[in-house]
Amino acid sequence: MTALRPGDQVRVVMTKWRHRPHWRFEGTFLGSDEHGDWIGFAAGSTMSRPGASYVAPVDQVVLVPAAGDDLLRGWVATFHAPHGPIHTYVDMTTPPTWHVVDGVAQVHAVDLDLDVVRGLTGRVWIDDEDELAQHRVELDYPDDVVALAVATAERIQAAVTDRVAPFDGSAERWLRQHRSDGVDPT
């Protein structure tokens, strides 16, 4: 893939198991650091999936984990600017991959239902365990995929709870940079 530059358009494409469409949205590449690639989404951005859409009430930045061991990369994190509905939302996914489609950089991952959420009060929880149980049967998730999603959710929940990087406030500089001028803050 061609190297991205701050300000380049990025499309995020999440699917569900067996290539079922899920959330899609457009953002701006902000830059990379030791944690991975950062994508900005402005307040008012529309995110859509079949049968639903969502308009972002505040700026958000998404972190796509850095290259490395795929057993540690099965997630995509979204950090909300102040006054958003939540602070942090982490989707458990297959390891994200980058592609260029029709000249636009695209990151893709399969959403594996489980999410780790930090609410505005600081409470951290794993969400959608019921959805994982249902889809495990309905969509015939392989046992190793389920085991990885559960283990990743537990690991990410501990990292978010303990404020371990990148869940330690690392996103704040990217949120500030995204709101200001779109230039890599490093």
Query: For position 178, what pLDDT does the model report?
Result: 85
Whether the upstream peptide bond of residue 166 has omega within 30° of 0, thus cis, is yes
Contact 60, 80 (CB under 8 A): yes
Q: Tell me, yes or no, whether 65 lies in a domain.
A: yes
Q: Tell me, yes or no, whether 186 lies in a domain.
A: no
Mean pLDDT taken over the chain: 92
Q: Tell me, yes or no, whether 100 lies in a domain.
A: yes
Q: Tell me, yes or no, whether 1 lies in a domain.
A: no
Higher pLDDT, 177 or 11: 11
Whether the model pTM is above 0.85:
yes
Q: Tell me, yes or no, whether 2 lies in a domain.
A: no
What CATH code is carried by the domain that includes residue 160?
2.40.380.10
pLDDT tens column, 92-148 = 999 999 999 988 999 999 999 999 999 999 999 999 999 999 999 999 999 999 999
63-69: average pLDDT: 94
Q: Tell me, yes or no, whether 155 lies in a domain.
A: yes
Q: Tell me, yes or no, whether 173 lies in a domain.
A: yes
Residue 179: pLDDT band with limits 50, 70, 90: confident
Q: Tell me, yes or no, whether 110 lies in a domain.
A: yes
Domain, as residue range, for 158: 9-179
Contact 149, 113 (CB under 8 A): yes
24 pLDDT more than 90 = yes
Q: Which residues touch 9 (CB under 8 Å, ≥6 apart)?
A: 26, 27, 28, 29, 104, 105
Domain count, the chain: 1
